[in-house]
Amino acid sequence: MGSCGCGVRCRLPRGVTRVSGDGRTTGRVLFVMPQMPWPATQGTALRNFHLMKAVADAGFEVDLIAFGDTRLSIPVEIAALCRVIEIVPVPMRSLVARLRTFLAGEPDLAWRLSSPEFSSRLDSMLCEREYDVVQIEGFEMAGFLLGPGALRREAWDRAPWTLVGHRAPRIVFDDHNAEYQLQASASRVDSQRPRRWLRAIYSWVQASRIRRREALYASAADACLAVSDEDAGLLREIAPGVSVEVIANGIDVPSYRASASPTVPPTVFFAGKLDYRPNVDACEWLVRSVVPIVRASVPEVRVVLAGRDPSPAVQTLAGPGVEVTGYLSGAEMRARLAGATVAVVPIRMGSGTRFKVLEAMAAGVPVVATPFGAAGSGIVDGVHGLLSEDASDLGASVVRLLRDASLRESMAGRARLLAEARHDWSAITPRLIDVYRHLISDLRPTASVIATVRNEARTVGAVISGVARQQPPPAEMVIVDGGSDDGTVRVIREYSSRPDVIASGLRVSVRSEPGANISRGRNLAVGSAVGGVIAALDAGTVLASDWFSRLVAPFDLEAGVGVVSGFFVGAPETDWERALAATTLPLVEDIEPARFLPSSRSVAFRRTEFARVGGYPEWLDYGEDLVFDLALRRLGVVFRFQPRAVVRFRPRPSAAAFFVQYYRYARGDGKAGLFALRHAIRYGAYLGAIVLAVGASDRRLGVLPGTVLLAGAIGYLRRPLLRLAIMATSPGDFMRCAPLLPLVRVVGDVAKMVGYPVGLWWRYSRGLPSHDRRPMTVRTTE
């Protein structure tokens, strides 16, 4: 291995300019990696190197930022592919930092490589160059651009590209493993052995936390890559509607040559990084549970556990007939594999696709594996290898292959053909280039924007200007006015004829419908619009510059998407408004994409799905978007959460205005027959609080009632306090706003407790059941 002789940052003169077939540079791509992709001696580096090489070979200009040893020179293999390379020292996490992460409810893996230096260097690269695509390699790196903090910066136009006026790059999230599944499977396996129960509990907790964060990363990315159909399905399960392309793990199949005669005595071979938890478990299970079954029939069998960094648990397995090799060079590893009689992959936890399986297939070594071990490889049991989940069957399969040379030869031959067709890099990487070209194609979305207004003369102009400034802007915007008397319609017409709006190509039309409620206004707007996709927003919102494109792009990327759920953040201007935002508005990390129901202040839907449910419920004055969402959900429509399609809005400026807002929301719940249990719990909680407060004044009961009451109050305010800590711009902000949180809670709860029975009475007086979550067709007035 040579080097380019560079230091921490290199700008590398390229001997040959990489161009596409028509003579143009295809685009600029930045790879964000957890480690240098060379030497490619383990799975992550191997995948990353070949994907980056394919992108460079396709004519893209490639830059790289990665963690690594800054004392080493840049390998010539990497220098030949990249224009700029940034190497950042690997961060060290203290035990205190890990404990703080655990107590904060954060997934440990999301913070394992947390590095302010890396973040700063990444920001600098994004400011200096306008990238078409940024590809993030693995869960541990995704937080730098797709995590909650990064999304908040972007929502407030503070992302690196917005600060310098660049267009936003398309972000591709390469999820090497469905990490939540890895932790869930580890918990299941470890729970079977009492000495591993602490590990099992840790993995159980982490699985839940990682599941939500992995769903956020997938939702925020413009496209996701998965290594197998199984992993793609796991991602779609937690983040419905995301664009997931299967870019399988691969190998250079022609470089592997099958050995003419396996070594004697017969050898069972396992390879991997031997301090990786799934591999450690596999080694222990193989030697302690599977090999004794094999030796009962083939006593001379040898076991080779090959790979770097063997953990103490693996080292203790070495003994008569069991070799733990430690580090092997690439050539040594291939020689050992080629001399093996059977490759065994007894993986019981994890996700993704094991390179060790692919290498055995290419080398002509028959494979015995668990379904986990063979996942993503395409191996069919009994055709390309033998699969089993329990130790006795795995042992019997190994014995069967050790004794039958013709079976070994036939299975190995079919597995080699499968590897050539499915896992050679030449068959895999063209799909990645197709993903890139589709993402960066300059398409103008064919969708319409709609809004309803009433007495919004102060804000409607800014909304129109915000839509016109979208990159790219929609072709039309339809506004329905519900009977304004403050000049709103005049302002709309003035702004629609402004030169900047006309120059953008946006056509603005306004329809006046005095007395129309929000639902009626939206239905009329959809009827007047021409687009097959409708993007809805509210007056008084401030749009991110790419709100429209992010909201409608998923319809083009995934044909099955029926609704795209945008997001919203508060834009408070006073202490009251900050306290209100912290109490009532979720943070992006609070959202579970598979369950999130969007507000119609930031949502898009297909016209066909709108028609299936008959539009918004005109019989309902408030909470109409929730009933609309639920009707779509009950029809099985796919909702795709897009947290980067953000609008900002100002919370209600006073306690009185907030009370009226939440009274109307709760009255809407009552009218629609929604959330009866949730509202009942609220009444019960306040009744219980009153009883405890009375009990606290009775000295005969001691401190117990007061303690329970205080603990309940703290628990009720925990989430608002955490949000406020994140939202506050200074300690002074936090100290001023925190005392307002209980007031916000009480005002909102009282408003709901007053409004809900009013709505129920409206429903009861019309002969409707008290609780009915089916789509309703009642059309009436107050």
* Average pLDDT over every residue of 479-491: 95
Supply angle C-alpha 508, 509, 513, rounded to 5.
145
621 and 479 inside one domain: yes
Print the domain residue range for 341. Answer: 253-422
Highest mean pLDDT among 33-47, 493-507, 758-772: 493-507
Tens of pLDDT, residues 441-478: 866 667 999 999 999 999 999 999 999 999 889 999 99
Secondary structure E strands in 5-101: 9-11, 27-33, 60-67, 82-88
Output phi, psi for 62, to 5 deg: -110, 135
Say if residues 409 and 348 touch (Cβ distance below 8 Å): no
- Hey, is 509 helix, strand or coil? strand
Q: Tens digit of pLDDT for each residue in 317-376?
A: 999 999 999 998 888 888 899 889 999 999 998 888 888 999 999 999 999 999 989 998
Query: Does residue 152 sit in the same domain as residue 294?
Result: no
Residues 18 and 81 both lie in one domain:
yes
pLDDT at 657 over 60: yes
Structure tokens given for 139: 């869960």
Residue 370 covered by a domain: yes
Question: For position 72, what pLDDT does the model report?
Answer: 87
User: In 441-486, where does DSSP find H-type helix?
Assistant: 460-468
For 530-543, the pLDDT digits (tens) are 999 999 999 999 99
Position 8 scores a pLDDT of 58
Q: Is 274 found in the same domain as 155? A: no
Average pLDDT over residues 578-600: 95
Handedness of CA 530, 536, 537, 543 (dihedral sign): negative
Separation between Cα atoms, residue 433 and residue 62, nearest integer Å? 13
Q: According to the model, what pLDDT value does residue 156 have?
A: 87
Alpha carbons 65 and 85: distance in angstroms, whole number: 6
Give the chain's domain count: 4
Which pLDDT belongs to residue 261?
64
pLDDT of residue 664: 95
Q: How far is CA 417 from CA 144, 228, 252, 384, in A?
A: 40, 18, 13, 9
Considering the domain architecture, whether residues 395 and 460 belong to the same structural domain is answered as no
For the chain, helix (H) and strand (E) counts, in that order, are 33, 22
Last residue of a domain, one of 422, 450, 480: 422
pLDDT (average), residues 590-607: 95
pLDDT band of 601, cuts 50, 70, 90: very high
Q: How confident is the model over 537-577, as pLDDT tens digits?
A: 999 999 988 999 999 999 988 889 999 999 999 999 999 99
Q: Which of 618, 651, 684 is the last residue of a domain?
A: 651
Percent of the chain with pLDDT over 90: 74
CA distance linking residue 51 with residue 32, whole number of Å: 12
Is 232 part of any domain? Answer: yes
- Over residues 381-390, mean pLDDT: 94
Q: For residues 321 and 173, state if they share a domain.
A: no
In this structure, are 622 and 707 located in the same domain?
no
Query: What rounded mean pLDDT belongs to the chain?
Result: 90
Q: Is residue 217 part of a domain?
A: no
Averaged over 258-264, what is the pLDDT?
66
Give me the sheet containing 302-306, strands edge to edge.
322-324, 302-306, 267-271, 342-345, 367-369, 386-387
Q: How confident is the model at residue 769, as a pLDDT?
A: 65
Do 63 and 27 share a domain, yes or no? yes
Verify that 698 and 677 share a domain, yes or no: yes
What is residue 23's predicted lDDT score, i.e. its pLDDT?
A: 43
Task: Let me know whether 559 and 490 are in one domain.
Answer: yes
Inter-residue contact 452 to 484 (CB < 8 Å): no
330 in a domain, yes or no?
A: yes
Give the pLDDT of residue 444: 61
Q: What is the CATH number of the domain that holds 511?
A: 3.90.550.10
Is the domain of 259 the same as that of 110?
no
| Residue 666 domain flag | no
CATH number at residue 164: 3.40.50.80
Q: What is the CATH number of the domain that holds 384?
A: 3.40.50.2000
Task: Identify the pLDDT of residue 365.
Answer: 93
Residue 212 belongs to a domain: no
**Does 773 map to a domain?**
no
CA angle 366, 369, 374 (to 5 degrees): 95
Q: Which of residues 359, 390, 422 is at a domain's end?
A: 422
pLDDT band for position 598 (cuts 50, 70, 90): very high
Confidence of residue 66 (pLDDT cuts 50, 70, 90): very high
Q: What is the pTM of this model?
A: 0.90
Burial of 767 per CB tally in 10 Å (0-12, 13-18, 19+): exposed
Q: Given pLDDT bands bounded at 50, 70 and 90, which one contains residue 781?
A: very low
Q: Is the pLDDT of residue 4 over 50?
A: no
The region of weakest confidence among 100-104, 174-178, 202-206, 367-371 is 100-104
Same domain flag for 55 and 146: yes
pLDDT at 774 over 80: no
H/E segment holding residue 224: strand 223-226
Q: How does pLDDT run across 672-725, given as a tens digit for each residue?
A: 999 999 999 999 999 999 998 888 887 777 788 888 888 988 889 999 999 999
Beta bridge mates, 542: 648
Residue 591 forms part of a structural domain: yes
